[in-house]
Structure 1
Amino acid sequence: MTLRPLFFAATAALALLAPIAPATWAEMPAEGPTLAAPAPFSFDALAARAAAIARAPYVPSPPRQPEVLARIDFDAHWKLRYRKDKTLHQDGVPVQFFHMGTYFRQPVKMFAVTNGAAREVVYSPDLFDMPKDSPAHDLSPDAGFAGLRILRPDLSGDWISFLGASYFRTEGALGQFGLSARAIAVDTGLPSGEEFPRFTEVYLEDAPEGQAIVTALVEGRSLAGVWRMVITNRPGQGQVMAVESRLYLRKPVARLGIAPLTSMFWYSETNRLQSLDWRPEVHDSDGLSIVPVEGTPIWRALDVPGKIVTTRFAGPAPKGFGLVQRDRNFDHYQDDGVWYDRRPTVWVEPTSDWGRGAVTLVELPTHDETNDNIVAFWTPETLPPPGQELRFDYTLHWVDKAPLQTDLAQVVDSRIGAGGNPGQSQPKDQIKVVLDFEGPALAGLGEADAVQPAITAPPGVEIINPFAHPIRGTDRWRLVFDVKTAPGTETVDLLATIKRGGRALSETWAGVLHPAQIEARR
């Protein structure tokens, strides 16, 4: 199961969309694409349309000319380059568009908004440099766009792109694309299969200098909604996106994911034996971080299970959560092609009342780095009947480290291996866990300061010989313990921290072990 879809989900009933200005287009300007006649635009009006769409039955919209789109494979799609002289300059923000292809089969209508009036960007094959033998020449002249990207002022490259279902991503603080966000997730990780609502219309609004404003209509089998994103690009510091969303269910949804983040985790120092690859680690993110309203922060190290695993952290909406690339040491990756050490951290900060629910993590099996197999999102505890408006506002931070930092020590390394002691026979029913912590709360503490481990395990799981000690020559502390389980145990959930005098010195490590999977590799 791949969380980043290979094609767009079908769109909702187009007959319900508000009328668009007729195709009485202006003449092609010397630069930029053709824009259709203007029509009134507002966020509230678009939200009202989304509500009307959700009240009507869903009508699939199959891709046009699927046999042609199938021939526009990865290589052919990559060769379809948008012409620089046709760049749309939306209030000084340069925007280019992606062509459709085998992985992007549903068109997205694009609009430029000025002074409350929206003008559709008219697709034309002439907007793209196409090789003479490109199958794209066989598409209809009104085929449409697949997505968009916003470029740097000198057109040297993009810093944010929207492409595929409702996915988008930025280059973050370190100039390297990695994980993605999307508008909404529906039934992720469930046996019934995931639904991928998609952007059907995107509006590029006028914005203050240094910002871009993107408003998108999203439609799917189960819902419709509108997302407005005020995006600030801070070169060298990352991007901040203030998101305002209005959501309307068409029918009941088993698992609704708010502010979903999608990433890739193959292996790290924790599960190095998962791969025969030459690189020490391969992942876009190495953990899920949660800062609750009350209590210590939580660090959930990512893993690759042998099956789909869903983990929920229930309670009031947190101060923030995110998929984090905490390890920034190039030597731990050794990849000078895709630079995993530079992949962004994305942090979600609720800015409206989300109520109660759960930060939900879904981990899927994978055997390489080509598929996104990690997704994290907020799941509301209760949902209203279909038709009622849901509002979830939040800020997305695309940064090099999570913005909510405390004095508590953080987990900097998580390792597992065979249980027992060196030089002695290894017990088959034990797994050793080694956690390294670093942070201000540990400053100046030594062996005599009574730093103690605190570990929570489920009934029937035995924790053997837990101890914590400073690592000589460093500012780090190490927590070590063995986990003993009954034969055939599939999954074990653990919580671990280090304390002094009953006070937490570190965040809480929330780990999941898969003893049966480990046993199979012995």
Structure 2
Amino acid sequence: MARKALLGGLLILATFSQAALAFDFNDVARRAKELAGKPYVRPDTPLPKPLTDLNYDQYKEIRYKADRALWRSNKLPFEVQFYHPGLYFNQIVKLNLVTADGVRKIPFQPENFDYGRNNIDPDKLRDLGFAGFRVHFPLNDKNVRDELIAFQGASFFRALGKNQVYGESARGLAIDTGELSGEEFPVFREFWIEWPRPEDRELTIYALLDSRRVSGAYRFKVRPGDSTATEVKSRLYFRDGVGKLGIAPLTSMFLYASHQPPATDDYRPEVHDSEGLSVQTDGEWIWRPLVNPKRLLITSFGASSPRGFGLMQRDRDFAHYEDLDTRYDRKPSVWVVPKGDWGRGRVELVQIPTKDATNDNVVAYWVPEQGPHAGGTMDLEYTLFWQANQETRPPLAWVAQTRRDRGGVGRDTDNSLRYIVDFQGGPLEFLKPDQKPVAGLWISDNGEILERQLVRNDVTGGWRVIMRVRRADDAKPLEMRAVLRNGDDNISETWAYILPPEPR
């Protein structure tokens, strides 16, 4: 069966049969291994000055012409459009199309772009190259192809499920994030997009990753749906040892929320793409609300072969955000499910100070206990779920919200804070009327619990933990934990909060 695609004036003919495609993951792995065997060469493709001088609004005016989308006329479930380089999207990536007959380079042709009001001469940009691409699929309406997944800027990618808007992102790999030595950003240098069949509901994308100390082969299988799944397979080749390797890194934004009010007036009650880190180990579910610290804050949870972790946006109530433009209530949660035994290590959370919502200041990833050495190889597989309507939650009671105040009248001068934590769902729904759980509370040596209460929340059917605490030294962090128990059994996830230090 022959398929034709008009791509920027180039007619691509591909013949499909039951035979396997002429390119697969092992082809990318061979390229990554060969690349790792050579000294690292930093990609250096300087952009024309008219592109580097663009501001954000000018760059947004450059749009790919929708009628030139790859597969627009082929009656396939997916379409592909491309990103133009410019502004800080200055790393060129090579793009290829995989067919049953072989690999075809996707050419950059400026006539496929609308440059808006920008004073740019397209004829001077021929054969420039792409900054990335985005895949479209009818997520919400069978007659409309919505954005499904986007790879832009060489390092990051993000996806959407049904009724979601873009929020947090993922990366192929993180190296030395938050370290004084500086972070190394592995980038995707080249992509291969596999031509789908009309009946396919899964799109396969291959990628070649490279940086100073590592090269790698990646395969992404994208399955759109209510919770879009991105199945990731990678093979890494290390030129040199890595001190801190971050696997399945997620990047998000947290400015403020009910447990950390804004520093200045803002009509929006909360501003964040994600509100907490969720971790599932073999024996415990942990919930750490995110914070916006005054200085870099790095915390972690040790585990052996984690069951899952993610940066989550549990609160879906529009009234808690009131932002008609950004729609924080529709931002996806991203849940990582490892495949195979990842061994011992830790889920690390890096939180960076930010004064506005334009910066992603939160990163979470898995760090293996044994770091890779020079000449070593590592195989990894996991799936990212981009969720909203059906988010991953523990079978136990879960934390619905965390709030904070000064503890009532007369408490504003004693340096104490009151935390209100609402648990709901899970076993709490099956407690008998005369049953009351017990709240297990813990606080680090830098503080004391002054008051504690556990009351039923008659509105949600859950239970509310209220505790007033005082920190001994404001220049040091204060850690707190709370869990609900019924007899000897934990019936809730663990609320693990950290109050960041105040700089002296």
Fold-level match, TM-score > 0.5?
yes
Counterparts of residues 356-505 of structure 1 (less than 5 Å):
356-400=344-388, 404-419=392-407, 422-443=408-429, 445=431, 449-505=435-491
The answer (yes or no) to whether the contact 1:458–1:494 under 8 Å persists in 2 is yes
Q: Is 2:182 aligned against 1:206? A: no
Runs of 4+ in 1 over 6 A off after TM superposition: 35-39
Q: Which amino acid aligns with 2:151?
A: F
The answer (yes or no) to whether the contact 1:73–1:103 under 8 Å persists in 2 is no
Name the structure 2 match of 1:355. Answer: 343
Q: Which amino acid aligns with 2:192?
A: Y
Alpha-carbon offset, residue 85 of structure 1: 3.1
The answer (yes or no) to whether the contact 1:187–1:255 under 8 Å persists in 2 is yes
Q: Which amino acid aligns with 2:86?
A: G
Alpha-carbon offset, residue 354 of structure 1: 1.3
Residues 163-219 of structure 1: per-residue CA shift (max 9 Å, x gap): 013211112232311111111111111122222221111100134511111111111
Give the secondary structure class of the aligned counterpart of 1:441. Answer: helix
Name the structure 1 match of 2:213. Answer: 222
Residues 117-145 of structure 1: per-residue CA shift (max 9 Å, x gap): 11100111122123474336374411101
Name the structure 1 match of 2:224. Answer: 233
Question: How far apart, CA to CA, are the structure 1 residues paired with 2:8 and 2:48?
Answer: 29
CA change 1:76–1:401 in 2 (3 A) is same
Question: How far apart, CA to CA, are the structure 1 residues paired with 2:474 and 2:53?
Answer: 47
Question: How far apart, CA to CA, are the structure 2 residues paired with 1:475 and 1:221?
Answer: 54
CA change 1:433–1:131 in 2 (3 A) is closer
Question: How far apart, CA to CA, are the structure 2 residues paired with 1:37 and 1:197?
Answer: 34
Residue among 75, 90, 101 paired with 1:105 = 90
Q: Is 2:495 aligned against 1:509? A: yes
The answer (yes or no) to whether the contact 1:50–1:225 under 8 Å persists in 2 is yes
The answer (yes or no) to whether the contact 1:35–1:121 under 8 Å persists in 2 is no
Name the structure 2 match of 1:6. Answer: none
Alpha-carbon offset, residue 69 of structure 1: 2.7
Name the structure 2 match of 1:280. Answer: 269
Q: Is 2:40 aligned against 1:58? A: yes
The answer (yes or no) to whether the contact 1:463–1:482 under 8 Å persists in 2 is yes
Question: How far apart, CA to CA, are the structure 1 residues paired with 2:394 and 2:117?
Answer: 58
Give the secondary structure class of the aligned counterpart of 1:411. Answer: strand
The answer (yes or no) to whether the contact 2:108–2:128 under 8 Å persists in 1 is yes
Q: Which amino acid aligns with 1:73?
A: N
Equivalent residue pairs, number: 486
CA change 1:411–1:386 in 2 (3 A) is same
The answer (yes or no) to whether the contact 1:36–1:120 under 8 Å persists in 2 is no
Q: Which amino acid aligns with 2:35?
A: I
Name the structure 1 match of 2:29. Answer: 47
Name the structure 2 match of 1:173. Answer: 162
Give the secondary structure class of the aligned counterpart of 2:39. Answer: coil
Question: How far apart, CA to CA, are the structure 2 residues paired with 1:227 and 1:136?
Answer: 36
Name the structure 1 match of 2:233. Answer: 244
The answer (yes or no) to whether the contact 2:136–2:146 under 8 Å persists in 1 is yes
Question: How far apart, CA to CA, are the structure 2 residues paired with 1:275 and 1:423?
Answer: 23
CA change 1:161–1:241 in 2 (3 A) is same
CA change 1:515–1:464 in 2 (3 A) is farther
CA change 1:514–1:280 in 2 (3 A) is same
Question: How far apart, CA to CA, are the structure 2 residues paired with 1:132 and 1:337?
Answer: 24
Counterparts of residues 75-224 of structure 1 (less than 5 Å):
75-89=57-71, 92=76, 93-115=78-100, 117-131=102-116, 133-135=118-120, 137=122, 139-152=124-137, 156-207=145-196, 209-224=200-215
TM-score norm. by structure 1 comes to 0.87
Alpha-carbon offset, residue 485 of structure 1: 2.2
Residues 35-90 of structure 1: per-residue CA shift (max 9 Å, x gap): 78999633112112111212221122323235333123322322222123322129
Q: Which runs of 5+ in 2 are unaligned?
A: 15-20
Question: How far apart, CA to CA, are the structure 1 residues paired with 2:479 and 2:494?
Answer: 13
Q: Which runs of 5+ in 1 are unaligned?
A: 1-27
Residue among 29, 34, 38 paired with 2:10 = 34
Q: Percent identity?
A: 37
Question: How far apart, CA to CA, are the structure 2 residues paired with 1:428 and 1:136?
Answer: 65
Q: Which amino acid aligns with 2:214?
A: L
Deviates more, 1:126-135 or 1:257-266: 126-135
RMSD, aligned α-carbons: 2.5
CA change 1:36–1:102 in 2 (3 A) is farther
Question: How far apart, CA to CA, are the structure 2 residues paired with 1:313 and 1:31?
Answer: 48
Name the structure 1 match of 2:18. Answer: none
